Amino acid sequence: MRRIYLAAWFVGGFLFLGLIALILTNSDQIGMQQTFPFTDNIERLEQKEMDHVLADDLSMTTSMFLSQLSLQLDRWAEQDKSDQQLQKEFAKEVREHPHFHAFTIVENGKMSETVGNIRQERLKQLRYQHGDLSFSDPYKINGEDYFIIGKKLEENKMVAGEIDLTFVKHFIKDMASVADANGNFFVSGQDPDVQWKTTKDLPKGASAQTVPELGWQIVVHSDLKKGEEQHYIDGQAVIKLNDNENSEAWIEQQDDLSLIKNNDPYYIVESATKSTDQLLNELSNHPDVEFVEPNFLFTKQAKGTIPNDEFFQPYQWNLSQISAEEGWEVTEGSQGTTIAVLDTGVDPKHLDLKGKVLEGFNAFDGTNNSIDQHGHGTHVAGIAAAISNNVTGIAGIAWQNNILPVKVLNEKGEGSSFEVARGIRWAVDNGAKVINMSLGDYHNSYILHDAIKYAHQNDVVLIAASGNDNVGDPMYPAEYEEVLTVAATDDKRERAFFSNYGNHVDVSAPGEHIPSLFPNNNYVIMSGTSMAAPHVAGLAGLIRSINPELSNDEVYELITSTAIDLGENGHDPFYGAGEINVGNALKQLAN
């Protein structure tokens, strides 16, 4: 993977994140340059297989989105609006909803309790039926896309809403195009080669999936960059000097060398005239320099106690597969055991995270602004520790554990070894007991390994995604022995086809078609080892909630020894010790 990738696929790797805003997305491409996201050396994967998985993710996300819209219509139809104050509160709630543009109840053809400007003639466009739901084709208002959804309440009575689809364009970006039930494309990317008008224009072999409720067709188009992608920031280097006390002064004395970032004892320096190779050659021979390396780029990589969360039973097969319900009978976690998520940041206002996201850190600018502008980090955090048994949304692994957001990847899901190392050290110094890293790169980094060793020496449990390129080449930090490395499985307990393998893989966890959170109270489905890793981070959080005295190595041993052996007997390069089992691990610890 180039840079640090998010371990989740993002939809290309699967970055997509869902078709529709609610959206459970399929991808987890994020990382140090992306730290494993969807792309993890996409050239090494069968792109058609990846596109197929992405199309599935987008279709399922859209279906989930429709399910959420249907539930919201039910709630509003039943809501008490008996007096003027309640009517005002109801109208305010509708207007502030991220997807509903207007709402009405229709009885015997007449509209009542209407909020927003919904036109009577639009209701006549509800021509597609699926169960008790009906839908219109998409249409434009002032250049923006909308459609109508209706739900039958009883004979001659229905509730309907006008839905704003601009979020579809936002999530799909350049990853896919969407055609309506008539085969006309209404969402597409910017690439002139994929500006199709109808499905008749599709090239042979295009990866597509149909949304069963709507009849919409989602067509994935790969957007691979040609040629070898650079894995470091040109003209920059990360250095450590023998004389740490006078490092800045030393840098100022050097010709053609400027200080870009200071994270004592590490410094990013830049030359205005020299390439990275020239800079490395020059500085590596300088007696005052202890070490020098490129500033590598990272990217993202998109039964027992039964919670009542609305998406748990229909979508979260992943938690049942690892016996999370049995584990929750032992513990639901503890606020005293903090899980740090090193990623694109986290949305602290999401309803399934609100109140449990601590003040975080931005490794790019040194502030506490750790807001997620990408989505990968929020998805990862939700898998590990979403608020559970609260009716809303999904269930997380560690119900009670707090999340410490550390932004080491930007809005594109990219960062460098410097930010990741800085983020690790900050998380350790600010109380993290578990660190999840759904990101990675194929280049070994001194500064990264030094930070990893610092965390391990301070007894922090370190979890990393193996990568999404279906190769045996080790990624970093996954390769480091101080880290518990996670590969991905599917709903048949088979290796996810994209999951990297090797003797450094310690365990596996579900990583294909995983529902979780997305900024602005949305939900998406994503795939990738980025999704597998936070399952293990959540389990580590539960383990340390029961017994905080266990060392990080003892936590590793408990997780691996209680895993369900898959593949060849014993440890193997595809599953490690096997797929984690929350019930087995926590029951053994409790006993």
- Per domain, the residue ranges of the chain are 236-295, 312-590
pLDDT computed for residue 174 by the predictor: 63
Place of tokens 């002139």: 192
Q: How many CB atoms lie within 10 A of CB 290?
A: 13
Cβ of 226: how many Cβ atoms within 10 Å? 6
pLDDT of residue 326: 94
Instruction: Please tell me which residue in 57, 343, 441, 572 is annotated as part of the active site.
Output: 343
The 8-class DSSP code of residue 202 comes to P
Q: How confident is the model at residue 320, as a pLDDT? A: 95
Q: How far from 223 is each of 40, 173, 175, 412, 582, CA to CA, in Å? A: 14, 11, 7, 15, 38
Going from the C-alpha of 171 to that of each of 25, 304, 342, 590, the distances in angstroms are 9, 35, 22, 43
Using the structure block, give the residue that is written with the tokens 């840098």: 251
Between CA 17 and CA 19, with CA 18 as vertex, the angle to 5 degrees is 135
- CB within 8 A of 292, min separation 6: which ones? 237, 238, 239, 240, 279, 280, 283, 284
Which of 136, 334, 530, 545 does the annotation list as catalytic? 530
Asked if 201 is an active-site residue, the reply is no
Candidates 97, 376, 379, 443; catalytic one: 376
530 carries an active-site annotation:
yes
DSSP per-residue string spanning 129-154: EETTEEEPPPEEETTEEEEEEEEEEE
H or E segment and range at residue 186: strand 185-187
Are the C-beta atoms of residues 335 and 41 closer than 8 Å to each other?
Answer: no
| C-alpha separations of 47 from 43, 53, 210, 387, 413 in Å | 7, 10, 19, 35, 20
Q: Give the closest residue to 523 by CA, choosing from 57, 55, 130, 32.
A: 57
Q: Which CATH number does 312-590 carry? A: 3.40.50.200
DSSP string across 91-111: HHHHHH-SSEEEEEEEETTEE
Residue 495 DSSP class: B
Alpha-carbon gap, residue 264 to 171, rounded angstroms: 38
Segment-wise mean pLDDT, segments of 10 residues, the chain, 591 residues: 35 31 36 35 57 81 86 90 88 90 91 89 89 91 91 90 82 77 82 78 80 87 49 86 86 87 87 87 88 79 70 92 95 96 97 96 96 95 95 93 97 93 98 97 94 98 96 96 97 95 98 94 92 98 96 98 95 97 95 83
Listed in sequence order, the residues at least 6 apart from 200 whose beta carbon sits closer than 8 Å to its beta carbon are 183
What is the pLDDT, as a whole number, of residue 28? 43
Coil, helix or strand at residue 318: helix
Q: How many Cα atoms sit within 13 Å of 474 on the Cβ side?
A: 17
Active site annotation includes 449: no
Beta bridge partners of 357: 403
Angle at 80 between CA 76 and CA 82, to 5 degrees: 130
CB under 8 Å, gap of 24 or more: what pairs does 314-321 form?
314/67, 315/24, 315/60, 315/64, 315/394, 315/515, 315/525, 316/394, 316/395, 316/515, 317/491, 317/510, 318/491, 318/510, 318/514, 318/535, 319/395, 319/397, 321/489, 321/491, 321/493, 321/510, 321/579
Q: Virtual CA dihedral for 334, 339, 345, 349, nearest 10 degrees? A: 0
